[in-house]
Structure 1
Amino acid sequence: MEAQAVHVVWDFRVVIDLFLGGVGVGLFLLATYFSFTAKEKHWTVIKTGYILSPVFVGAGVLSLMTELGKPLRMFSTYIHFNPTSITSWGGYIQTLFILAGFLIICYLFKTGIDSFNNNIFKSIQITGLLLAVGTGIYHGLLLASLGRPLWMNGLIPVLFFLSSIIAGASLLIVLRSVSSKVFHSAEDLAIAEVAATSRSAKPDQPLTYLFTILLVLQVALMIVWRVTLQATGLEAVGNYQLMMEHYGSIWWIAAIGLGLIVPLAISIYASIRKVSFSMGSAVILMVSTLIGSYAFKHIIVYAGQLNVPNPFM
């Protein structure tokens, strides 16, 4: 099967926005999770995750603005808000999320770990959490709303969201491995010492188990997505076949192999052995997962724009 024409409206700059924004969302969600469960033990990781999150999302938005050709055109979405447009909602959600992220950074640098006892900070944190979820879901809904056969499946927003969390988690795993080298303030050292005295004898590996669960869920949903394409319609199946013809090798090697199989094998091994990720395995996880996440979003965005030929023409 050959495409009649390939008219790419969204190029790699949109993919970069989806990718970097997704990593930022994943960092924020995981940092918030650990701030609720073990903020002393993971203080350095939490702080680093919160600092990097709005930076990644902001970099993604800048990439999107360059794709628009006229960057100032983006501001028209704020002035001429359309409540029925997912793009209009996305512009506000991402902007508010970045602002919430920078407010959190200001609090953390001003009052440190004591910020988590401040009610105003907690309100900003919860608001940021909701905006992070909104941003993650928006990335997938934006595709689903455009009516392209490959994007219309309801699992696309979920797969994009999970891919974002996994990418952010892989980065946090490396940050956790090198946390002693990231910050050297007296506060960080004091908090680390308190956490060490209260740590159990078992290896501290909440990220290991969480990462494994997320990967298993992503693999399961990938399979469900492929199976349910049949129910979406013949055009969706044809679009998937075109995707395999144009991007099949990259899909299996990068998106599936590096993005899912390699990190899943490493994380399952660590979970069974009940050990934390070593520095070497953490770096492999991060590199393979980030490559896989980008490849997945790149292929879905580009393949979704392939025109399926009409069998009656």
Structure 2
Amino acid sequence: MSSPMHTLRERLRGSMPALVTPLKDGAVDEAVFRSFVAWQIAEGSHALVPCGTTGESPTLSAEEQERLTAICVEEARGRVPVLAGAASNCTAHTVELALAAKDAGADAVLSVTGYYNKPSQEGLYHHFASLAEAVDVPIVLYNIPSRAVVEIALQTVVRLSKVANIIGVKDATGNMARPSLERLGCGKDWKLLSGDDASALGYMAHGGHGCISVTANIAPRLCAQFQQACLHGAFQEAREFHERLMPLHEALFCEPSPAPVKYAASLLGLCSNEVRSPIMPLTEVGQVKVREAMIVAGLL
């Protein structure tokens, strides 16, 4: 009989949108978020990731994060896993956020490296190991040196993979050797999730299990089909989906995220384009780029 941890490992694969947080007059629009989650599931997304970078987590209060996770869990109703963002550059605060995510019903938490204060590799190990000891919930590491300044070195990832409830990594390093090296060092059960749409095809070809995606916010069906092709080893078909989506992957980062993807979502009537300061709404130049890419993808 499969354990809950084993079952989660099996389910945590495919297309996983890093969900935007709908806003209205500065507040979280809970009704729109609930509808958005339902739409994502109907369109074929394989898991949901609230309260990440794309969800504007740096500008969300702890209470807002817990509420968003709870809504996501309620709407998912167990049909897909919920991997909730729970991260801070303070270990104690990260523990608090992860406990709240667990209380809200999250199946697992996604936690980024300590940013700004630039911890050592030993500091990173201690941070994540302390989190795992304090919170009885599966943990996925988030390795994104472009935002966090520090990178979780391969040797540190391998050490952390030995901690029972640390189950995988969201990799936004851009290093295509990492999935193969991590699989060798961490074992076949280690979950390898791409954190970058533009390089996800290569990551999946190296043995990845899925992608935590920005583009899936507005093209969930196409992203799910792309992932299914990859998981079945149909890489020619996957490449066709990837080339169709590639202009969109690029356009959604033409200005600081999530302004581009929220503008795209507004064009589809999914939510407003409102963002929280210091992120600014998409400029007219950016709007043209996003619209053109959406046309190429067949979304407009």
TM over 0.5: no
Instruction: Identify which of structures 1 and 2 has the higher relative contact order when contacts are C-alpha pairs closer than 8 Å and 6+ apart.
Output: 1
The structure richer in strand per residue is 2
Q: TM-score, normalised by structure 2?
A: 0.28
The structure richer in helix per residue is 1
Structure with larger Rg: 1
